[in-house]
Structure 1
Amino acid sequence: MTTLRALAVSVDPILHVFEQDGGWHWGITVPRAAGGGFKLIAYSEQTFSKEDAARNNGSQVLLGLARAGSNALTHQ
Structure 2
Amino acid sequence: MDRIHKFIRKLSADEARRALEAITLVREGRLNTLDVRKLKGRENEYRVRIGSIRIQFVKKETYNHITDIEFRGDHTY
TM-score bracket for the superposition, by shorter chain length: 0.3 to 0.5
The structure whose RCO (Cα within 8 Å, separation 6+) is larger is 1
Please, what TM-score do these two structures have when normalized by structure 1?
Answer: 0.34
Please, what TM-score do these two structures have when normalized by structure 2?
Answer: 0.34
Larger Rg: 1
